[in-house]
């Protein structure tokens, strides 16, 4: 049973029971480019003598977290799903990685200290939040845990780029899917959400997804905490 609409625990139990390692194993081959934008962003980040701190919001099985660690960061991954955290810890142990993982709701993380992180990552988590107040809470928490000038990287599904809403089961008026678990945002809308949350956008662009069965775009954004 779902505890709330963005609870992916039932899905992660199916993944674990089938011997999978993370979300990509739910539909094998469906999202081969899930980390392309994140990898490109990390490759461009400067590396100093001190390991910066990063938080992976909605880390799932830790696939993005481990990429971030390999790029030179100390990483904390948080996810609402206990089974996802179990998978993330197992995946980290297999790589002898030092990333840490915590069961937490990204909309409210009282155990995560304010202003502690240099980088916050939203690798396909924000689009799981369909209610405006939940999206505001997510971005407010992302800002809270970053120090002033800290950076938010976000990749989220876009209503631009001609996605096939009928095939996806999405209401074209609300841009919410029939299960009420995914939201397709517009760039101008996302700009407003980020500005109201206290972020200054450094870059925002559409990333085409020709590799997907239903071609569309994601919005890749880099913003800094004001």
pLDDT tens per residue across span 91-138: 999 999 999 999 999 999 999 999 999 999 999 999 999 999 999 999
The label of the residue with tokens 């910066």 reads 52
Give 131-175 pLDDT, tens digit per residue: 999 999 999 999 999 999 999 999 999 999 889 999 999 999 999
Task: Provide the CATH topology of domain 9-44+52-225.
Answer: Rossmann fold (3.40.50)
pLDDT of residue 1: 83
Residue 215 has pLDDT above 70, yes or no: no
Kindly tell me the sign of the dihedral angle through the C-alpha atoms of 17, 19, 25, 28: negative
- Classify strands 146-157 and 217-225 as parallel, antiparallel or unpaired: antiparallel
C-alpha–C-alpha distance, residues 32 and 198, integer Å: 33
Q: Cβ distance 123 to 155 under 8 Å? A: yes
* Domain boundaries along the sequence of the chain: 9-44+52-225
Angle between helix 187-197 and helix 132-145 axes, rounded to 10 deg: 50
- Tell me if the pTM is above 0.85: yes
For the chain, the average pLDDT equals 94
- % of the chain with per-residue pLDDT over 90: 87
How many helices (H) does the chain have, and how many strands (E)?
7, 7
For 179-195, what is the mean pLDDT?
A: 97
pLDDT of residue 34: 87
Residue 211 has pLDDT above 70, yes or no: no
């Amino acid at each position: 049973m779902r505890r709330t609409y963005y609870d992916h625990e039932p899905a992660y139990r199916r993944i674990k029971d089938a011997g999978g390692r993370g979300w990509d194993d739910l539909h094998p081959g469906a999202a081969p480019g899930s980390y392309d934008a994140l990898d490109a962003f990390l490759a461009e980040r400067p590396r100093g003598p001190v390991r910066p701190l990063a938080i992976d919001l909605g880390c799932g099985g830790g696939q993005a977290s481990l990429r971030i660690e390999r790029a030179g960061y100390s990483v904390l991954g948080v996810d609402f799903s206990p089974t996802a955290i179990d998978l993330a810890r197992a995946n980290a142990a297999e790589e002898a990685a030092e990333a840490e993982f915590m069961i937490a709701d990204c909309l409210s993380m009282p155990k995560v200290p304010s202003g502690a992180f240099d980088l916050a990552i939203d690798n396909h988590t924000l689009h799981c939040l369909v209610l405006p107040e939940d999206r505001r809470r997510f971005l407010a928490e992302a800002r809270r845990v970053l120090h002033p000038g800290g950076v938010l990287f976000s990749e989220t599904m876009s209503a631009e780029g001609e996605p096939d809403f009928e095939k996806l089961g999405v209401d074209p008026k609300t841009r919410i899917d029939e299960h009420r678990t995914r939201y397709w945002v517009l760039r101008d809308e996302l700009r407003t959400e980020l500005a109201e949350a206290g972020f200054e956008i450094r870059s925002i662009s559409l990333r085409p997804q020709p590799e997907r069965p239903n071609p569309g775009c994601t919005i890749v954004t880099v913003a800094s905490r004001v």
